[in-house]
Chains A and B, each alone.
Chain A
């Protein structure tokens, strides 16, 4: 995801495209092992400052394992594993559809341990993909714009609110540009599956000249700055982690349904060190049992109870259903529909 690099002020090297690899990376960081010679190569869409605590904790427990952490967008990750078969030990991505395709097409190793067995059924597929975070898609609003007003609780309420107040919201709605964002596409396609109101909402947003974004971080920042009154389908964990910095924003979980995106990990078939990779999978699968660590990463870990707390939560189902929206024709027609709804007027 592109927003991964936005908030980082770390020693992230931007590698030139002239390097040995043809897929594009956004950053890389090396964590050498104090002892031992094994180095795990991880390709991930997660931002380094989010993931670093996990790596450090892992190395504390496994001092013999060095880690090479490479950040790439979900599309580039797909290209690295699927097309170029780069020898990575782990692929971590929030693009559930692409991870599913990797497993379905035979690019993932099966792995099983006590830790993975303990995961709920919806959090794994074929013992090849393992979810370790659950991240709801939320509505982020600016409190100033909703002063003295009840914020919408469902999508229907949001639609009528927007219809009734075109002046207030024109040009001040933010959402993903599903043509460039993997997470945005995933949320949008699941929305279109879950309810008929999605297309009406898209049309309303298009009529009100919604601004399109590539990442959640930018949307949150713009809501906080007052440029946007609301942002639809923001990754909840990012919004939560920014709450302390941006006091003026508020997070709304819809009551009709909440898509929950699962961040997943898989071990590619050509992983050079599958057993050490398995240790990392275990460490991620047991994130829920280490609250001190999750606090530092701001990643909401997978927990079976997390779903019961909110009956509207719908974890996006891993499995072949996710391949449907990756179908060439399906994607083409979905984007066409989306574009024509969103861009009814030339801005």
Chain B
């Protein structure tokens, strides 16, 4: 189970929401990819590595009862498709809230949490999850 090197290469995007901007059509994508899925060949040489703000709103969400083994301690957990301010859509876990507190459009921001561990002696993987942004108390 030597997945550590693969995870390690993806750490910048996983920790800090580093994605890409296609300078042909202006769209942002996350996670980073070599060419724009819309412009294809036209985007060659026009892909720019960009840090996304990590803020957005819930596009759609669901509560998972029977899911990933590594999230068994957090069951039931919430997974959402988040539309980032830059327009890219990303799937992520929504934490520190109950499903009943959420609606389509709830503003969220990325935070760093443990994603999984390779057993008790293996590498711990960290990455983004999303928390609802609270209205600031007056």
Q: Do A and B come from the same complex?
A: no
